[in-house]
């Protein structure tokens, strides 16, 4: 992620992570993984709902509401230029870079 962050910064872009976790949980996660980008708390999941990523999920037969891991590329005018829903963390940066390099 570090190389990608440098490349994104050079392209006048930045990364922000958003989750429904409380800031204290996010800090522990950031400390553990050394993300080097801001993590924003969406504890009432308003942002997730607005982006259509707060959805019904199933695990081991249990149904619950949760985040669908997603990534969005937002252009300088605030419009969504690209979106990836259900993307794995390992594929997120390569997919983003493909779009940014055109």
Q: Which domains does the chain have, with CATH numbers?
A: 2-101 (3.40.30.10)
Nearest CA-CA partner of 18 in 55, 62, 65, 53: 53
Whole-model pTM? 0.80
Average pLDDT, the chain: 89
pLDDT in tens, 80-97: 999 999 998 888 888 888
How far apart, in whole angstroms, are the C-alpha atoms of residue 27 and residue 13? 23
- In DSSP notation, 24-66 reads HHHHHHHHHH---S-EEE-TT-HHHHHTT-EEEEEETTEEEEE
Number of alpha carbons in the 13 Å side-chain half-sphere of residue 35: 17
């Amino acid at each position: 992620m570090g190389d990608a962050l440098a490349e994104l910064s050079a392209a006048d872009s930045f990364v922000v992570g958003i989750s429904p976790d409380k800031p204290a949980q996010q800090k522990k996660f950031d400390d553990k993984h050394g993300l080097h980008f801001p993590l924003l708390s969406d504890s009432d999941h308003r942002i997730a709902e607005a982006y259509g990523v707060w959805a019904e999920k199933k695990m081991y037969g249990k149904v619950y509401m949760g985040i669908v891991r997603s990534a969005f590329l937002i252009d300088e005018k605030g419009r969504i230029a690209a979106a990836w829903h259900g993307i794995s963390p390992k594929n997120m940066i390569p997919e983003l870079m493909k779009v940014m390099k055109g």
